[in-house]
């Protein structure tokens, strides 16, 4: 298989790229190194994949680059490139979210009109749901995003649905729930918690800590994403990808203390704008369609992220098994 991975230098994209290469596939990776976090970490994420002869890196801004030649020579497109983050989507950066989440997706889909047999897997987000309904969010739950980020991801989903219906493109949308693990972005909670614990500085919690998230380990997300790209004749085109076990941030803090073997100081701040209270994915549809069953516990996954962060801080970004 020849795969195209957008956002290949990012947190999930770099793991996806490595996994595809390990399985013997050829990968073209696209990334524009937008400034949502440091270029150095993104380059480090690509350190190992550059060693593969069947990996080609292309620095293109999807919102304006020419994609036709890449689309026409690929079998599966994994479209993970995006402008991430809820808090930073308010205010002056909103234009970047529109460009990198909506316009870039439209450009990818428009290019794919020349290659209608290509399977497209679009990485969406649980943020499209907004506040969770009782019993967890199914794919049929109302979509009521409460952040500009969630709104742009939902707009990109609508584009996918439009191009699938009107242009007969082969598109699958995956709604990721709170992904964590090695290479997590510096602005994400677990990265910040672990870094603070290692440096004996207070861990900041927005809210009372009782809010819950359906944390999903990156390797489980990658497995589901690849399955969505290679499973033929999929009847379902919208799938939740979540860990299936919502956990409070207070419990996460307990696990962090167990991992670093010391007490941590916590500073509670006001809830951030656009932050939902709870998330929980109903994943029966992904289980039936893709055989998706999360394999990694929260404690084991947090331990792997801690090992990665320690190695990163010590200047030895090793390739760690995920």
pLDDT single digits (tens) 182-224: 999 999 999 999 999 999 999 999 999 999 999 999 999 999 9
CATH code of 2-180+217-242+280-294, in short, is 3.40.50.720
Confidence of residue 292 (pLDDT cuts 50, 70, 90): very high
Q: Above 90 in pLDDT, residue 104?
A: yes
Which one of the listed residues 149, 163, 176, 217 is annotated catalytic?
149
Ranges of each domain in the chain:
2-180+217-242+280-294
Considering only CA atoms, which of 218, 296, 299 is closest in space to residue 257? Answer: 299
Mean pLDDT of 74-84: 97
The predicted structure's pLDDT at residue 273: 85
Q: How far apart are CA 78 and CA 266, in angstroms?
A: 38
- What whole-number distance in Å separates Cα of residue 96 and Cα of residue 89? 8
The C-alpha atoms of residue 244 and residue 296 are separated, in whole angstroms, by 11
pLDDT attached to residue 322 = 53
Give the pLDDT confidence score for residue 154 in this predicted structure.
98
166 burial (CB, 10 Å; 0-12 / 13-18 / 19+) is exposed
- Average pLDDT, stretch 134-148? 92
- Return d(Cα 68, Cα 35) in angstroms, integer: 26
- Is residue 321 pLDDT above 70, yes or no? no
Is residue 217 part of the annotated active site? The answer reads: no
pLDDT tier, 179 (very low <50, low <70, confident <90, very high otherwise): very high
- Indicate if the pLDDT at residue 41 is higher than 90: no
Mean pLDDT on 56-78: 93
Answer positive or negative: Cα dihedral of 160, 162, 168, 172.
positive
Q: Which residues of 190-225 are buried (b: 16+ CB within 10 A; e: fewer)?
A: bbebbbbbbeeeebebbeeeebbbbbbbbbbbbbbb
- The rounded radius of gyration (Å) of the Cα atoms in the chain is 19
Confidence check: pLDDT of 109 > 70: yes
Q: pTM of the predicted model, to two decimals?
A: 0.95
Residue with tokens 């701040």: 269
Specify the pLDDT at position 320.
Answer: 53
Q: Does residue 119 surpass a pLDDT of 60?
A: yes
Cα 139 from Cα 143, distance rounded (Å): 9
CA dihedral 144, 185, 9, 259 (to 10 degrees): -120
Looking at the predicted structure, is the pLDDT value of residue 63 above 80? yes
pLDDT at 29 exceeding the cut of 90: yes
Question: What percent of the chain is predicted at pLDDT more than 90?
Answer: 84
User: Which pLDDT value is given to residue 94?
Assistant: 96
pLDDT exceeds 80 at position 289: yes
pLDDT in tens, 266-279: 999 998 888 899 99
Contacts of 289 (CB under 8 A, 6+ apart): 231, 234, 235, 236, 239
Is residue 284 pLDDT above 70, yes or no?
yes
């Amino acid at each position: 298989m020849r795969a195209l991975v957008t956002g290949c230098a990012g947190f999930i994209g770099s793991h996806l790229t490595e996994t595809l290469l390990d399985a013997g596939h050829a990968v073209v990776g696209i990334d524009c190194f937008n400034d949502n976090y440091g270029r150095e970490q993104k380059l480090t994420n690509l350190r190992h994949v550059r060693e593969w002869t069947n990996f080609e890196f292309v620095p293109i801004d999807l919102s304006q680059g020419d994609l036709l030649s890449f689309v026409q020579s690929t079998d599966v497109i994994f479209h993970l490139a995006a402008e991430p983050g809820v808090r930073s989507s308010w205010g002056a950066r909103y234009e970047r979210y529109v460009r990198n989440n909506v316009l870039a997706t439209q450009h990818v889909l428009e290019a794919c009109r020349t290659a209608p047999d290509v399977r497209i897997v679009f990485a969406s987000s649980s943020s499209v749901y907004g506040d969770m309904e009782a019993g967890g969010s199914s794919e049929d739950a109302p979509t009521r995003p409460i952040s500009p980020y969630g709104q742009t991801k939902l707009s990109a989903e609508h584009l996918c649905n439009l191009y699938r219906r009107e242009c007969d493109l082969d598109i699958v949308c995956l709604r990721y729930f709170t992904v964590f693990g090695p290479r997590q972005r510096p602005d994400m909670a677990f990265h910040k918690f672990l870094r603070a614990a290692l440096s004996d500085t207070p861990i900041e919690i927005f809210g009372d800590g009782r809010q819950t998230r359906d944390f999903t380990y990156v390797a489980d997300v990658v497995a589901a994403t690849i399955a969505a790209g290679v499973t033929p004749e999929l009847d379902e085109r919208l799938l939740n990808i979540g860990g299936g076990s919502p956990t409070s941030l207070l419990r996460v803090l307990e696990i962090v203390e167990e991992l670093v073997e010391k007490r941590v100081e916590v500073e509670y701040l006001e809830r951030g704008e656009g932050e939902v209270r709870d998330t929980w994915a109903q994943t029966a549809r992904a289980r039936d369609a893709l055989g998706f069953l999360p394999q990694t516990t929260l404690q084991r996954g947090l331990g792997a992220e801690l090992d990665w962060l320690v190695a990163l801080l010590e200047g030895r970004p090793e390739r760690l098994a995920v």
